[in-house]
Chains A and B, each alone.
Chain A
């Protein structure tokens, strides 16, 4: 089966610009996650969707980050305006069921963002 797809793979922007990332989860997976992985750190959950509803966005910097999951399938994560500290790899993951911690999460290859 196809894995989690993400695009673009790399993006370089200047601070204060906006950027958007796209994620297509594994077909049939109800739960979708966006993680931020800063160099030298483990992934940190930004937002979790269950179908097209938000389950957890407690660590999403809502003044500049937004995310949506229309029709419960694809998702986009946007940053506007970007700051230098947003430089990171943005990982998308999906899981089959209700997003419980016992569900296996399948990760995409990530988008590496560099903010200059």
Chain B
């Protein structure tokens, strides 16, 4: 069965610092991978997605993620965090067969000025 693990429940960074949020997936074939962000009181917004091709994916708001098949990982990165990036971040996996998004438990990002 497909699953997603986000090892970090809560991360705190200073504004301007770099960020990496970890995501590991479990799936036999090539997965479809997604990162969503959820701000307080808001719905989830898609940051980026990976289906195939270039393993480094660029998304909105200056985020990028890299698919590493050998490590079953799809970590999210941003070179310089802004206070407005404080939110909860969810990694998700899907497959062509199931069409169903399986979400991780999320990582809450706190940004200090």
Contacts and interface: CB of A to CB of B under 8 A. Distances in A.
Q: Bin the interface of chain B by size.
A: 20 to 34
Interface string B83-97: 000000010101110
Given A56-B100, A101-B100, A105-B101, A42 B43 contact: no
B103 A44 contact: yes
Interface string A33-53: 000000011111100100000
B56 interface: no
A84 B49 CA distance: 35
Interface of B: 4, 32, 36, 41-46, 49, 51, 90, 92, 94-96, 98-101, 103-106
A110 B43 CA distance: 6
Interface of A: 3-4, 40-45, 48, 55-56, 91, 93, 99-102, 104-110
Nearest to B100: A45
A39 B92 CA distance: 17
A109 B94 CA distance: 22
A45 B42 CA distance: 18
A48 B90 CA distance: 20
Contacts of B36: 107
B93 to A, nearest CB: 9
Given A42-B92, A43-B90, A105 B46 contact: yes
Nearest to A31: B99
A40 to B, nearest CB: 7
A104 B101 contact: no
B43 A101 contact: no
A107 B99 CA distance: 16
Contacts of A4: 43
B104 A42 contact: yes
B105 A41 contact: yes
Given A42-B103, A43-B103, A108-B43, A101 B98 contact: yes
Contact of A43 (B44, B45, B99): B44
A107 B32 contact: no
B101 A101 contact: yes
Of B51, B103, B104, most buried by chain A (CB within 10 Å of CB) is B103
